[in-house]
Amino acid sequence: MSSPRTSAPTIGVFDSGFGGLTVLRALVARLPRARFAFIGDTARLPYGSKSRRTIARYAVESAQFLVREQGAEFLVIACNTASALALDAIQEAVPIPVLGVIEPGAAAARAASRTGDVLVIATDATVQSHAYASACRAQGLRAIEKACPLLVPLVEEGWTSHPVTAEVIGIYLDELNAEAAAQGLHADTLVLGCTHYPLLRPAIERAVPAGMRVIDSAESAAEAAAHLFHGRAAPLSSGDTPPTEIRCFATDSVEKFERLGSRFLGRPVGHVELVDLGG
């Protein structure tokens, strides 16, 4: 059945797991009449500890699935690690606009910071890529990045408001603030450079020094995407199109995705379809 062109375009959203559902949640809030196809490459997560070559190969396969199989006309890379290490490779591999989460996060940090000095917490691979430091430098900011590899497992264990999690956040932020001070930075802004971290936002806000602004790159990316897509796709803001349609796909562990995903999306994820990308 061919659908008339008056239907809303499909926005493809890609993550290594289901953390990117925090980005989808922020997108849905801004583009309530769009159609979304989300894929989590759960068979091969986490990307955070893998090499650039491997991450790029995996990410391109997911992007191609969203374009070829789901007809995506826009693509949001809702994964900091893939944005950091594979945005160029994805942009080369698919013929549609592709937006990552790093640049919008850095732009939001610039808008928030008065001192021009910012802190970034993220996964190992994102930090090792120094993608946030580069994006911040392009915005005229100085940035110090820190890998916090325990935070994703703590979120996935469901310990978002557990005392152990507060303790781990405190340790990481103390180390980060000490390093920033040692390098002469006067940081007033903290960027959450991983899509799992918004679930820890209350605990993180309690742990940061008074007056420090916390930037959620998921929110920043959704804001940038909505701006971009509104400019290109008039039907998105029209009342003639049907309400939000979300289809979720995963390369493995559909049950875990369905069970944990609603925490990230803020509503039930419904049925998650299993796809095989050949990995």
Q: Where do contacts with its own copies occur on this chain (CB under 8 A)?
A: 42-46, 49-51, 54, 149-150, 152-154, 156-157, 164, 167-168, 171, 252-253, 256, 279
Catalytic-role residue among 79, 136, 148, 248: 79
Judged by beta carbon, residue 167 or residue 273, the one nearer its own copies is 167
Catalytic-role residue among 136, 148, 194, 248: 194
- CB of 53 vs its own copies, minimal distance in Å: 8
- CB of 170 vs its own copies, minimal distance in Å: 10
- CB of 9 vs its own copies, minimal distance in Å: 32
HEC letters along the chain: CCCCCCCCCEEEEEECCCCCHHHHHHHHHHCCCCEEEEEECCCCCCHHHCCHHHHHHHHHHHHHHHHHCCCEEEEEECCHHHHHHHHHHHHHHCCCCEECCHHHHHHHHHHHCCCCEEEEEECHHHHHHCHHHHHHHHCCCEEEEEECCCHHHHHHCCCCCCHHHHHHHHHHHHHHHHHHHHCCCCCCEEEECCCCHHHHHHHHHHHCCCCCEEEEHHHHHHHHHHHHHHHHCHHHHCCCCCCCEEEEEECCCHHHHHHHHHHHHCCCCCCEEECCCCC
* Annotation marks residue 79 as catalytic: yes
- CB of 6 vs its own copies, minimal distance in Å: 40
Judged by beta carbon, residue 46 or residue 198, the one nearer its own copies is 46
- CB of 226 vs its own copies, minimal distance in Å: 32
Judged by beta carbon, residue 29 or residue 178, the one nearer its own copies is 178
* Annotation marks residue 148 as catalytic: no
Name the phi and psi angles at 268, rounded to 5: -60, 140
Residues 6 or more apart whose Cβ sits within 8 Å of residue 240: 6
Judged by beta carbon, residue 217 or residue 251, the one nearer its own copies is 251
Judged by beta carbon, residue 33 or residue 256, the one nearer its own copies is 256
- Catalytically active residues are 79, 194
